[in-house]
Amino acid sequence: MPTALVTGPTAGIGTAFARRLARDGYQLVLVARDAGRLAQLARELGGAEVIVADLAVPEQRRAVVERLQDGSRPVDLLVNNAGVGGQGEFWSTPFDRLHQQLELNVTAVVELTHAALPGMRARGAGAVINVASVAGLTPGRGSTYTASKAYVIALSEGLANGLSGTGVRVQALCPGFTHTEFHARAGIDMAWAPEALWLEADFVVDESLRDLQRDVIVSIPSVRYKALVTASRLVPRSVTRFFAARLGGRSRN
Ligand SMILES: NC(=O)c1ccc[n+]([C@@H]2O[C@H](COP(=O)([O-])OP(=O)(O)OC[C@H]3O[C@@H](n4cnc5c(N)ncnc54)[C@H](OP(=O)(O)O)[C@@H]3O)[C@@H](O)[C@H]2O)c1
């Protein structure tokens, strides 16, 4: 039975990954902060290993790193999904909040991927899905969140290139707006966003796993968002930036 480790499975896209992977026959290792929700999900899935950890805290990542490095219980698929957004201007946000976001959205992804890859390479099989965002593909009104997702995309593409031919795959999953707890947690009012722009978490996960089978390295769920990203690439970046600055609404960090 293959094993998948999913970060942030207690809500949204992570829950959808956990449920789908369980249906696909994976044994699951679930990592998040909320012990109650983790236990409830593990029960729902008919049993799963649980690691309660705040991935923004280096010492709490240790247990997850050690689990990924444990060669006697190989992890075949790592889903780096946990991530947070924010709202407000960069210059007026306390640095602690920006730093926590960087630790979770970037450092944890690098550290967990670094822990998982040697074993996968040695076995000549395995995959890492890094949940980024379309925000990381186009310039917007965002600052640290956008930058964190751009980092994750660049990291994933570089690793996928380096691992080509090894049997190990790396994907950057770039969803658009998805119905989850993400915006409420960050205090972002999304009332302005038309319903046509919204995706469902189950759909995002199905597209990601289908793309993984096809070796698609940057997965952009839905024709709508593929078209938006393609259109933004057809015009000079200065033009995209111009419109994003004027139409992008309040800034995000
Ligand atoms: N929703 C969107 O529109 C959207 C669009 C593009 C990309 N994304 C990306 O998708 C990923 C999943 O987000 P989501 O939309 O599913 O958000 P969500 O519903 O808010 O879920 C976030 C998950 O991350 C976990 N988490 C948050 N902080 C954590 C921490 N410090 N340590 C460990 N786990 C933590 C949460 O669990 P606990 O609270 O139990 O720790 C929860 O399970 C994120 O990387 C996000 O950037 C989302």
Here the CATH number for the domain that contains residue 210 is: 3.40.50.720
Q: How far is the CA of 37 from the centre of ligand 1 (A)?
A: 14
CA 66 to each of CA 83, 104, 250: distance values in angstroms, whole numbers, following the listed order = 21, 18, 40
pLDDT, residue 249, reads 60
Q: Which domain covers residue 18, as residue numbers?
A: 3-247
Q: How far is the CA of 197 from the centre of ligand 1 (A)?
A: 19
Q: What is the dihedral of CA 153, 154, 156, 159, to 10 degrees?
A: 170
Task: State if residue 104 touches ligand 1 by the CB under 6 angstroms criterion.
Answer: yes
Tell me if 48 is assigned to some domain.
yes
Give the whole-angstrom CA distance, residue 224 versus residue 133.
Answer: 14
Tell me if 253 is assigned to some domain.
no
Pocket test for ligand 1, best of 41, 62, 129, 178 (most atoms within 8 A of CB): 178
Tell me if 32 is assigned to some domain.
yes
Task: State if residue 204 touches ligand 1 by the CB under 6 angstroms criterion.
Answer: no
Q: How far is the CA of 67 from the centre of ligand 1 (A)?
A: 21
Residue 25, phi then psi, degrees to nearest 5: 95, 10
pLDDT per residue rounded down to tens, the chain (253 residues): 999 999 999 999 999 999 999 999 999 999 999 999 999 999 999 999 999 999 999 999 999 999 999 999 999 999 999 999 999 999 999 999 999 999 999 999 999 999 999 999 999 999 999 999 999 999 888 899 999 999 999 999 999 999 999 999 999 999 999 999 999 999 999 999 999 999 999 999 999 999 999 999 999 999 999 999 999 999 998 988 888 877 656 667 8
Cβ(129)–Cβ(78) below 8 Å: yes
Tell me if 101 is assigned to some domain.
yes
> How many other β-carbons are positioned within 10 Å of the β-carbon of residue 217?
17
Strand 49-52 relative to strand 77-80: parallel, antiparallel, unpaired? unpaired
Tell me if 54 is assigned to some domain.
yes
pLDDT, residue 246, reads 75
Q: End-to-end CA distance of the chain: give it in Å, rounded.
A: 40
Determine which residue's CA is closest to atom 1 belonging to ligand 1. Answer: 178
Task: State if residue 30 touches ligand 1 by the CB under 6 angstroms criterion.
Answer: no
Domain count across the chain: 1
Tell me if 252 is assigned to some domain.
no
Which ligand 1 atom is nearest residue 57's CA?
31
Determine which residue's CA is closest to atom 42 belonging to ligand 1. Answer: 8
pLDDT, residue 248, reads 58
Give the whole-angstrom CA distance, residue 229 versus residue 243.
Answer: 14
Tell me if 185 is assigned to some domain.
yes
pLDDT, residue 200, reads 98
Cβ(163)–Cβ(124) below 8 Å: no
Pocket test for ligand 1, best of 7, 28, 81, 112 (most atoms within 8 A of CB): 81
Task: State if residue 8 touches ligand 1 by the CB under 6 angstroms criterion.
Answer: yes
26 is catalytic: no
